[in-house]
Structure 1
Amino acid sequence: MAKASSKKPRDIAPIDPMPARVDPCLATLVDKPPKGPDWAYEVKWDGYRIAVHIEPSRVRILTRGGYDWTGKFPSIADDARRLAVKTAILDGEAVVLDDNGRSDFGLLQRALGRLPSVVEAGAIVFYAFDLLYLDGRDLRRLPLRERRQLLEPLVAGREGAIRLSEEVQADGDEFFRVACAHGLEGIIAKHVEKPYRSGRGEWWQKITCKRRDSFVVVGFEPSTVPGHLGRLLLAARQGEDLVYVGGCGTGWSHELSRELRSLLGGMATKTPAVSLRRKGAVFVEPVLVAEVEYRAWTDDGKLRHASFKGIRGSADEARIFEVVPTSK
C-alpha cells in the first residue's frame, strides 16, 4: 500500500509564477454604499497605495504606478521579512496616523521626506487589505472572501509596521455616516464573491465624505504676505492637454505656505501649461501634482470650495483627474 503523502495542500498544488507586478484593482466612486449580504466595508485610508512583494531573497515595495519605493518604507520592508510566508504579494495602503488614529496624508508626505518634518519614516504603517499571491499560488482568481481568509491569519493582531485593514459586515449607510462623523475620508465597499481584477470596476466602490482628486499645479498667486503662497492654480487632463480647473487658497499652515512658495518659485516659467491669463499669477512647469479636496464642480468646470491636502507626487507618478465635468 502506498504511503500517504504528508505534504500540505499548499505544497502539492500547482505552482503559479509570481507576477513581477500586478496592476491594482481600483474602486469606482459612487454616491452611496451598495446594499446586500455580498458586500463588506472598510475604512478608506488616506495614503499611498502600495504592493508588498515578499520573495525568497528580497522584499520589494511597489507603488500603484510600478515605481520601486522599497527604500522609502524601510520599516514595512523589515516587518515583511518577519511574516510566516515564503512568497507573497500583499495589497494595501501606506499611511501615517494622527493623534486620533486617523490616516493623515500630509503627515505621510513629511515622513517620506517631501517636506521638512519631525515625523520619521518608521511612523509609516501598511494596512493590508488583500492577498494576491501566497507561497506559489496566484490567489487573484479566488473570491475576495477566500483571499481574506488567507490574509487574516498572516497579519491580524499585529502592531508592527504591517497590520490588517479590518473588514466590517454592517449596514453600509450607517458605517458611512459614522466614518464621516469621525472625520475619516470615507469608506470602501467590496463584493466578497468577486475575484481580483486589475483596473477600475464596480466590484470595489468608494464613497467619500468629500470629493478628492489629484490635479496638476500649473501656477500660483503670491500672498500679500511676502514670501508666502496665496493661491494654487490647478489643471486636469483632457485628452493630451491640460485644462485649467480653478484654484485653491486654503489647506496649508503658515510654515507650509512659505515652503510651497519657495518650492514653486524655483519652477517658474514664462510659458503657461494652460490657456489662462491672470494678473499677478506666476506660472510653473507642470511637474507637481496636488491632492485637493473639494465639494463639487461649477457649471463652467471649476472646482468649488477646494482645499489643499498635500503634494501627491510628480506628474509621471500620480493619477491626474482626467475628465472635466460641465456640471456636478
Structure 2
Amino acid sequence: MTKPPSTKPLLQNADRPVRSRPRKPRNPAQPNLPLDPMPDRIEPCLALLKPKPPKGPQWVFEVKWDGYRMAVHIEPKGVRILTRGGHDWTDRFPEIKQAALWLPVGTAILDGEAVVLDERGRSDFGMLQQSLGGRGGKKRSSDAVFMAFDLLYFDGHDLTRSELGVRRHLLEGLVPADGDIRLSEEVEADGEALLRVACEHGLEGIIAKDRESTYRSGRLGDWLKIKCIQSDSFFIVGYEISMAARGHIGALLLAARRGDNLVYVGSVGTGFKESAAWKLRGMMERIKRKTPPIHYAGRRKDVVWLQPTLIAEIEYRAWTDDGKLRHASFKGLRDVQDNAAVYEVE
C-alpha cells in the first residue's frame, strides 16, 4: 500500500504564493460549445390525474408531495424562487435560497415542490401554510424544504429537449439526498404495489413519469398523478351561516372551472379549526356580493355569496353522479398566486 505523503505541499514555503499552472492557449480549431440563453421562466409540466398507475418499462415513479410547486432559478445575479404562476417568493424561503447558493453550479433551473415534513417525513400542506403565516401571510418559512424532481437548465444548457433519464442523471449529481434542497427519489417498482405502500403510510399518492419524455409545459400526459385520497383546489363562492358552527360557518359552497366559467361542485362543512374558521370568516366578510357568481339551484338557507377570490384546498373521497364532491373536508386556503391550480371540470 502506498503511504500518504508525510508533508502537506501547500503548507511548505509559506512565504511563497501558491500559483496555478500557466493556462495553455486555446486551440482555435476546437469549436466552442453553443450556450442556450437562460429563460426568464418555464411553464411547468403538470401531472394528469389517473385512477390507476400505468404499466410498462418506460414508467418510473416518485412520491407525490403536498406543497407549493416552485422553480428555483440559480442565475449569475443571484437566486429566484418562483411559484407555478410566476410570482417571486424568494424572500419567503430564505433557507432554500441559501441552499441554492451552495449548490456546485453556475446557472440552473430546478423544478420541484416546497414542503414542510412531519415527524414521519410526510409532506403536510397545513404545516406549510402555518409556517408561511396562512393565505396572504408574509411570514418567511424556515421549516420548508425543496424536493427537487427535475433539472430544466444546467450551466448554460437548456435541458427541456433532453429525455427525463438524462435530466435525472444530472440532477442526481447536483442535488444532495438531504438538506434544505434535497432529491425527490425516483423509484423503479410496480406502480400498483408502490401506490398501496404509499397509501398505507399516509402519503397523498404517487407520480408516474415517462422516462423517455422531454419536458413539455402543460398537462399532456407525460406525467401522471395517482392519489390515495383525492385533494384539489376550488373557489369558495359562498357560505351558509350556522350559529352553532365554528366561525358561524355551516358550510362553504365550492366551484370549479369549466372553460371561462365557474360551475358549482358542492359544499364542505368539516375540517375547520376554531381559530382558522374565525379568520376565514373575517376574510369572507370583506368580499360579499348580492348575487351568486355561479348558476345555483340549491335550497340552502342563509347563504352569503362571495366574490370568487378565495381558493380552498379540499380533500374528498369521490364524485357523485351529478358532479358533486363526496365526503369533502376543508384542508386550508391556497394563495391567490397559485390560482392556476383550481380544479377544472372537463
Q: Same fold (TM over 0.5)?
A: yes
Q: Where in structure 1 are there 5+ consecutive unaligned residues?
A: none
The answer as to 2:295 corresponding to 1:296 is no
Q: Partner amino acid for 1:75?
A: E
- For the pair shown, the structure with the greater C-alpha radius of gyration is 2
Shift of 1:116: 11
* Aligned ranges 1:9-158 → 2 under 5 Å: 12-114=32-134, 121-158=141-178
SS at match of 1:123: coil
**What does residue 254 of structure 1 align with?**
274
Q: How does 1:211-290 map to 2 (within 5 A)?
A: 211-223=230-242, 224-225=244-245, 227-276=247-296, 278-290=300-312
Q: How does the TM-score come out when normalised to structure 2? A: 0.86
Deviates more, 1:148-157 or 1:88-97: 148-157
- Residue of structure 2 equivalent to 1:179: 198
Query: Which residue type is aligned with residue 201 of structure 1?
Result: L
Pick the aligned partner of 1:198 from 217, 239, 244: 217
- Are the equivalent residues in 1 in contact too, given 2:115–2:123 (CA < 8 A)? yes
Residue identity matched to 1:121: S
Contact 1:289 1:318 in 2 (8 A): no
SS in 2 for 1:34: coil
- The 1:162/1:97 distance shift into structure 2, 3 A limit, reads same
Native 8 Å contact 1:312 1:318 kept in 2: no
Which letter maps to 2:109?
I
For residues 46 and 179 of structure 1, the distance between their equivalents in structure 2, rounded to whole angstroms, comes to: 13
Q: 1:193 to 1:227 in 2, by over 3 A?
A: closer
Identical aligned residues as a percent? 59
> Residue 250 of structure 1: CA displacement?
1.2
1:226 and 1:321, CA in 2 relative to 1: closer, same or farther beyond 3 A? closer
- 1:318 paired to 2:345: no
Query: How far off is 1:50 after superposition?
Result: 0.6
Does the Cα contact within 8 Å between 1:110 and 1:116 map onto a contact in 2? Answer: no
Offset, 1:155: 1.0
In 1, Cα distance between the equivalents of 2:136 and 2:309? 20
Change (3 A) 1:63 1:157: same
Aligned length: 317
Q: Distance in 2 between matches of 1:137 and 1:19?
A: 10
Q: Which letter does structure 2 place at the counterpart of 1:15?
A: L
| Amino acid of the structure 1 residue aligned with 2:106 | K
- Could you tell which deviates more after superposition, 137-146 or 250-259? 250-259
* Alpha carbons of structure 1 residues 198 and 130: separation in structure 2 relative to 1, 3 Å: same
CA shift for structure 1 position 120: 6.2
Distance 1:34 1:225 in 2: 43
Residues 121-165 of structure 1: CA distance to partner in whole angstroms, max 9, x if unpaired? Answer: 100110000000010011111111111110012112332x11110
Q: Identify the range of structure 1 (234-243 vs 121-130) with the bigger mean alpha-carbon deviation.
A: 234-243
Q: Does the 8 A contact of 2:146 with 2:181 survive in 1? A: yes
TM-score, normalised relative to structure 1: 0.90
